[in-house]
Amino acid sequence: MNFIKNIFCSILFLAGIICQAQLADLARIDYTILPAKDSDFEFNRTRASFNYPIKLNDNQTYLFLGLDYSNINITYGDEEVPFDRDDLNGFQLIVVNIGYTSKINEKWRFGARLTPGVSSNLRASDLDIKDIVFSSDVVFINDKKDDPTALKPNRLILGVSYSQNRGFPFPLPFISYYRKFAEKFSYNFGVPKSNIQYHISDAHRIKVYAQLDGFTSNIQQGTTINDERPERFNMSLILSGLQYEFHFKEHFEFYLRSAYILDRSVQLRDSRNNEIFEIDNSNGFSLSTGLRIKI
């Protein structure tokens, strides 16, 4: 059952990388916090990313170049743990985005992305080969969201994703379907993120959503636990909540999210992704806010 759960969560998470970005975010900055409250574990992440589009021809073909950086800080409580807190209280994630998108025909668009980078606690003076991560995405998009001939605006995305940054180095499928079914209501059904959206106005929207979040990072200069040496720090979250969006200046979006964590797993793992020690598995709340600049 754990194997099936891991596969399912991996599909959800890796697909989310495509779903959230879709090669369409020019820039984004956000802040997320999981307060300790009843837990002995607190997490906060500051993330910034940007993509620079280069138009290659008049057939809506673009090359995207960019960076995605996350600074993750972790605070442990007073409960005793079998490792040095200072070695595992901060992680740096930085990847280079190389994206490409082009129209195939009047109905379909192709998108691809390569994201080599680094994910590590960076305790050593030099990078280790295990700090290097590589991800790639390939999607096909049929977008009728703004098609005046469509009876119900919709968008279908089909693709495949591969990532070393989530701990499961094999290709995984992705399917997402969006549809606006009434004047002020729309939904996005699929994995990893499903939502029902209420369009208050052109500027204001509210979403009820469910999604997966988390990260995996290499551990430099780790400790030994029960004669085993952890090499990866892994956190996975399944959460559901409410999101408010304010759209302004055509391409800008401010958002504020509050969610309840349905399932949380924070683990130290070996090189084969086997659990060595579980740091936290409590529920709780998550708060996020950010600003996006979209195409």
Q: Give percent of the chain with pLDDT exceeding 70.
A: 89
Question: Does position 204 have pLDDT exceeding 90, yes or no?
Answer: yes
Q: What is the mean pLDDT of residues 19-23?
A: 43
The CATH number given to whatever domain includes residue 68 is 2.40.160
Q: Is the pLDDT of residue 170 over 70?
A: no
Residue 163: DSSP 8-state = E
Average pLDDT over residues 157-184: 79
**CA 141: distance to chain centroid?**
19
* Type and span of the H or E element at 49: strand 41-57
125 burial class (0-12, 13-18, 19+ CB within 10 angstroms)?
Answer: exposed
CB 39, CB 285: distance < 8 Å: no
Q: Model confidence at 24, in pLDDT bands (50, 70, 90)?
A: low
The boundaries of the domain holding residue 280 are 2-294
Q: Could you count the other beta carbons within 10 Å of the beta carbon of residue 123?
A: 14
Residue 208 pLDDT > 90: yes
The confidence score (pLDDT) of residue 156 equals 93
Flag whether pLDDT at 9 surpasses 80: no
pLDDT in tens, 259-273: 999 988 899 998 888
> 241 pairs with which residues across the strands?
209, 259
Is the pLDDT at 11 greater than 50, yes or no? Answer: no
Contact 264, 281 (CB under 8 A): yes
For 69-103, write each residue's pLDDT tens digit. Answer: 999 999 998 888 888 888 899 999 999 999 999 99
> Residue 146 pLDDT > 80, yes or no?
no
**What's the mean pLDDT when you consider all of the chain?**
85
**How many Å apart are CA 195 and CA 211, to the nearest integer?**
9
**Predicted TM-score (pTM) of this structure:** 0.84
Helix (H, G, I), strand (E, B) or coil at 129: helix
Q: 273-293 in b/e burial notation, b at 16+ Cβ within 10 A? A: beebbebbeeebebebebebe
Structure tokens at 260: 């309840």
Query: pLDDT category, 166, cuts 50, 70, 90?
Result: low
The per-residue DSSP string of 184-200 comes to SEEEEEESS-EEEEEES
pLDDT for 104 equals 92
Q: What's the distance, CA 270 to chain centroid?
A: 23
Can you say how many angstroms the Cα of residue 295 is from the centroid of all Cα atoms in its chain? Answer: 19
pLDDT at 15 over 60: no
User: Sorting pLDDT into bands at 50, 70 and 90, what band is 17?
Assistant: very low
Count of structural domains, the chain: 1
| Type and span of the H or E element at 224 | none
Whole-angstrom distance, CA of residue 260 vs CA of residue 208? 12
Work out the number of other CB atoms within 10 angstroms of the CB of residue 64: 22
- Residue 153 corresponds to which tokens in the numbers above? 């605006």
Per-residue DSSP letter, 79 = S
